[in-house]
Structure 1
Amino acid sequence: MLHELTISDLGVIESARLEFGPGLTCVTGETGAGKTMVLTGLGLILGAKTVPATVRTGADAAVAEAIIDVPAAGPLAERLADAGVAVEEDGSAVVARTVGATTRSRAVMGGRTVPQTLLGEVAAELVTVHGQSDQVRLRSPARQRDTLDAYGGAETADARRDYAAAWDEWLTAAERLRRMQEGADAERAEVARLRDDLAAIDAVAPEAGEDAALVAEAGVLENAEAVRTGAAAAYEAIAGDEAITVVATLEAARRALADAARHDSALAALEERLADYSYGATDVGAELASYLDRLDADPGRLDEINQRRSDLATLTRRIGVPDVDGVLAYAERARPRVEEDDAWDETLVARREDEARCRAALEAAATTLHDARAAVGERLARAVRDELALLAMPDADIAIAVERTEPTAHGADVVTMTLASHPGAPHRPVADAASGGELSRIMLAIEVSLAGADHESDDTARTFIFDEVDAGVGGKAAVAVGNRLAQLARTHQVIVVTHLAQVAAFADTHVVVAKSTDGAVTRAQVGAVTGEDRVQEIARLLSGQEDSTTARAHALELLEGSAVAR
């Protein structure tokens, strides 16, 4: 509930403080007196966008401050706690919104600076604001659908959630199938090229680093005579047939040290080192001998190497890579795509089956949602018809048609509200069949029905703010509107901006916005009226002359009648 609203330097309002109790509060005043600024102030503390132009001329900033009740438990309570909002012991919190004329605006709730969106979340759960522009709800099929779903509560919410999940799953399956089908020719042509490349690679069967090894071996063979001469000379010097070789010399030195070491053990370590040198030289000699044998064993090896290098070069040019390692990396990437293509037909069948399964699930979810909406539509139509009977439209027949259509993100239904304004009249879309005053009353009937559904579901009182919901209404219908707003105010807090005395007469709290000017500055005074002051305001609403005897008598009659009705 909204307990209090304080406004300063907002439009023509220099300073105002309004107290809102439970029940029905009506705000009246002459056109241009500043009623809009009261609504603007309410909008600010409910998260509306700030407009610097609304700051009073000459002021640095406008301020709107309110005391509101907040929920003690639930997601919103957790959200407020996470934001550090301090809640009073009585469950209320102070909300302040500053609108700078040239500086940044800010929002404070419970002593903490909070984002504008948090105020919007509070408003969405606790407050319903309805103005004349909201009659677009009766003109837009999407808004009519959302209204129907809101009335259905958990029944339609569960069905919508299941449908949304089925919709997302079907979209994914359909997109996977579409990509596979639309790209089939190009994809399969690409895979055919990869398949040919892999066949060429497998035919050559390159090994990692093979090209570099062949280059090195070819360099040796191309200089075979110089290599043979050098290797042979080294062999002869180390372990050849000559009397003096490295091996023979090392062995002679080792034996001499061995004889000496029998007399001096200090030489034993040196003898061991010479033995190691001798063994090493012997090994080198054996390896050189084997190397020389290989050079002589395969005189055609150079031709083989050159042919292999040519095959590898052809392969790297085909693949478009610089070396054999690039060819192997290409093959590693290409094989999974070729293997996947091997199962192309099976994959395509599987994706078609998956899309069909998801589509069937979507159709089933759409049917469930349609059935829920159709049942809820009948209940909402009955509720609105009952409300219209109380709003001086007893012969009006409201119907809500829920027709199947192709699935969309919000279901497979088109929701249409139709009106037959009197017996025998054909049903037509509400926006076409109703006058301005009838649209106002139908919108009020829908809001009251939605409020009733909310009250039954969670027993949570909301705050309803109506901006001239009675536009285009007069006479008996105006009395009916006031009476119905008063009935709504028995379970919810209702704040109404009105020009109708018949509506204002039902108020529990009557707030008047009056304008005054000294020729240079215009100011608005805002305050509650009671007693004789209220009689005068009702009389002014009736005739434009608060001192008219006839209007005053009529005002008293209205106030007495509304008291009886309540």
Structure 2
Amino acid sequence: MLREIRIRGLGVIDDATVPLGPGLNVLTGETGAGKTMVVSALGLLLGERADSGRVRAQAGSASVEGFVDVAADHPAARRAAEAGGDVDEGLILARTVAEAGRSRAYVGGRSAPVSVLADLGHLLVAVHGQSDQWRLQRPEQHRVVLDAFGGEAVAAPRERYADLLQQWQAARRELADLVTEQRNRAQRLAMLTAALEEIEKVDPQPGEDDRLREEAERLGHVDTLQEAARSALVAMSGDEDQVDPQQTSVVELVAGARAALGPVTDLDPALGQLSARLTELGILVNELSGDLASYLAGLDSDPARLAEINDRRARITGLLRTYGDSIDEVLTWSRSAAAESADLAGTDDRIEQLQARVEELAPQVGQAAADLTAARTAAAQELGRRVTEELAHLAMGSAQVSVDVRQHEGEEGLTLPDGRVVTAHGHGVDDVEILLAAGPGVTPRTVAKAASGGELSRVMLALEVVTASGDVPTFVFDEVDAGVGGAAALDVGARLHALAQHAQVVVVTHLAQVAAYADQHLVVRKQDDGQVTASGVVVVDGSDREAELARMLGGQSDSKTARQHARELVAATAQQPATPRKGRRRRASAS
């Protein structure tokens, strides 16, 4: 809960500390003393838009600091920790607004975006003023209020609906994508199929292009190769036709060298080793001559084979122009294309599966939506009844609150079990609206338009009392009692006191009947030194509180009659239970 707020340089407030306790905290004071400025300061602390025009004249800047006692596992503490703030010993929030308009925010001792304060504000405090009934002015919040009131009876069918809707929508999206791209896929599959048939018809083998190139080179220059091989063979082993009797072959030269060394090899071992090497050389020369002869014998001109090779190379070249720079790349592309073709060929099966899945899920989603609508309708009837009963105790006895749960029908959407086609959202198919009829025979209208500012605050109070669950630890009401008085004002105070049994409540009021219920009474006091007017905040108790209530009742704090009236009022409220029985109006000794 909020423990303390310190305000400096804001409007009429120069420097004031507002201590807050558990239960019902009431702020009172004379008109113009700065009660509403306390609420404005709290708004700044919770991330509302800063207004530099509210900076106190000549102050230069305004600042608001707040200390929040919050458990370490509360969502607000976790959000503050995410922003880098220290929450070990409570949460300190701060906001400064310069006269020039610049605003800064601090969370847990660390600078943070103002949006973090706003996030924390939604988790910590619900502010209800005559111009700030956001929960009733935003239509989507009507559904949030109803669902929260419905509890598990609404939450369970809502979760089932949301899960089924997600599955149904996912299947529909995938099906729509597949159907939309069906022509493109067919064209792609036809292209891949033709390409694979072309490659399969050629049937290239790994490394074949290199082998064919080598064979084509050999067959294309067979005459030149034959001449060179023949000349080399003649030089190695001689010419059988003895065209040039003077030419000496390598075989003859090596043999002559061996013959020259043969007789003297025994005379010198070194020369014997050289002679052995000549013998080895003779053997190699003979082998090389034989290889040249074999090569020459197999080197035949084959124009048919050359034409066949050139044709094969042309077909392979056609593949290389389209599918890769080498046969290996062509084969890699072919394997990838075959896999893609298999996927594309299986798309029709997937479409059939999705169509069956969509048809299977549609009635399930429709039934889940109908179940959620039924749960909301039941909760709506109970919520309307209970809020109407509460309003009877808040000077709105003739008002009737109802909660309208309806669906938006159209030509496309989700089909319900009754055959209606409605628009489906993540939260359901229902549009929820809280309606107010100010009196008998009056057509119910949305509560945001049918109620005045003060009535709107009281409707909000009634909703908070009925739906109070402890999720929001602090509620702030700014003049929720506007337009009421007497016994009706006592009922407003009783309802605020009832709400304070579950949460911390801060109320700005001008009615003593409401202030009499306070667990802690704070007075905003105005001081005037002749030149500067400043406001401060003090906690009053005992005779000081009695004097303040007397001032609120009769305008004079020192009037004996007013003080007696104040004492009776406090005694009367102290004797009454926090939550009166339904259907009965309270009676008080003071009006």
Normalising by structure 2, we get a TM-score of: 0.77
User: C-alpha deviations, 1:121-175, integer Å up to 9, x for none?
Assistant: 5544443322334435335442111111222344434443443333332222111
Amino acid at match of 1:181: V
Aligned-residue offset at 1:349: 0.3
Aligned pair 1:486/2:522, yes or no?
Answer: no
Residue of structure 2 in register with 1:187 after alignment? 185
Aligned pair 1:503/2:519, yes or no?
Answer: no
1:339 to 339, 342, 347: 342
Pick closer, same or farther for the CA change 1:8–1:279 going to 2, 3 Å: farther
* Greater alpha carbon shift after TM alignment, 426-435 vs 141-150: 426-435
Aligned-residue offset at 1:487: 2.2
Q: Work out whether residues 51 and 99 of structure 1, in 8 Å CA contact, stay in contact via their aligned partners in 2.
A: no
Amino acid at match of 1:446: L
In structure 2, distance between residues paired with 1:253 and 1:539: 147
Aligned-residue offset at 1:304: 2.0
2:434 to 398, 417, 422: 417
Q: Work out whether residues 50 and 105 of structure 1, in 8 Å CA contact, stay in contact via their aligned partners in 2.
A: no
Aligned pair 1:449/2:466, yes or no?
Answer: yes
User: C-alpha deviations, 1:529-552, integer Å up to 9, x for none?
Assistant: 445654565466567776889877
Aligned-residue offset at 1:15: 1.2
Query: Aligned pair count?
Result: 552
Aligned pair 1:463/2:474, yes or no?
Answer: yes
User: C-alpha deviations, 1:413-465, integer Å up to 9, x for none?
Assistant: 222323344455555443454444433222111111221xx15xxxx782211
User: C-alpha deviations, 1:482-541, integer Å up to 9, x for none?
Assistant: 221122223322101234443233323232334456676553322234456545654665
Residue of structure 1 in register with 2:353 after alignment? 350
Amino acid at match of 1:24: L
Aligned pair 1:397/2:400, yes or no?
Answer: yes
Aligned pair 1:388/2:391, yes or no?
Answer: yes
Q: Work out whether residues 265 and 275 of structure 2, in 8 Å CA contact, stay in contact via their aligned partners in 1.
A: no
Residue of structure 2 in register with 1:14 after alignment? 14
Amino acid at match of 2:385: R
Residue of structure 2 in register with 1:85 after alignment? 86
Residue of structure 2 in register with 1:301 after alignment? 305
Q: Percent identity?
A: 41
In structure 2, distance between residues paired with 1:546 and 1:235: 140
Q: Work out whether residues 211 and 312 of structure 1, in 8 Å CA contact, stay in contact via their aligned partners in 2.
A: yes
In structure 2, distance between residues paired with 1:162 and 1:261: 110
Pick closer, same or farther for the CA change 1:529–1:211 going to 2, 3 Å: same
In structure 1, distance between residues paired with 2:212 and 2:300: 19
Residue of structure 2 in register with 1:199 after alignment? 197
1:513 to 493, 517, 524: 524
Please tell me whether Structure 1 or Structure 2 has the larger radius of gyration of its CA atoms.
Answer: 2
Q: Work out whether residues 130 and 453 of structure 2, in 8 Å CA contact, stay in contact via their aligned partners in 1.
A: no
In structure 2, distance between residues paired with 1:340 and 1:254: 80
Q: Secondary structure at the match of 1:407?
A: coil
Pick closer, same or farther for the CA change 1:332–1:255 going to 2, 3 Å: farther
Greater per-residue helix proportion? 1
Structure 1 gap segments, 5+ residues each: none
Aligned pair 1:68/2:68, yes or no?
Answer: yes
Aligned-residue offset at 1:178: 0.4
RMSD of aligned residue pairs (Cα, Å): 4.4
Q: Secondary structure at the match of 1:403?
A: strand
Pick closer, same or farther for the CA change 1:316–1:530 going to 2, 3 Å: same
Aligned-residue offset at 1:326: 5.4
Q: How does 1:247-396 map to 2 (within 5 A)?
A: 249=254, 291-296=295-300, 298-316=302-320, 319=322, 324=327, 327-396=330-399
Amino acid at match of 2:497: A
* Greater alpha carbon shift after TM alignment, 405-414 vs 120-129: 120-129
Q: Work out whether residues 251 and 278 of structure 1, in 8 Å CA contact, stay in contact via their aligned partners in 2.
A: no
Q: Work out whether residues 8 and 15 of structure 2, in 8 Å CA contact, stay in contact via their aligned partners in 1.
A: yes
Pick closer, same or farther for the CA change 1:134–1:112 going to 2, 3 Å: closer
Q: Work out whether residues 62 and 99 of structure 1, in 8 Å CA contact, stay in contact via their aligned partners in 2.
A: yes
Residue of structure 2 in register with 1:226 after alignment? 224
In structure 2, distance between residues paired with 1:181 and 1:116: 47
In structure 1, distance between residues paired with 2:365 and 2:267: 101
Residue of structure 2 in register with 1:107 after alignment? 106
* Greater alpha carbon shift after TM alignment, 361-370 vs 76-85: 76-85
In structure 2, distance between residues paired with 1:157 and 1:274: 105
Aligned-residue offset at 1:255: 13
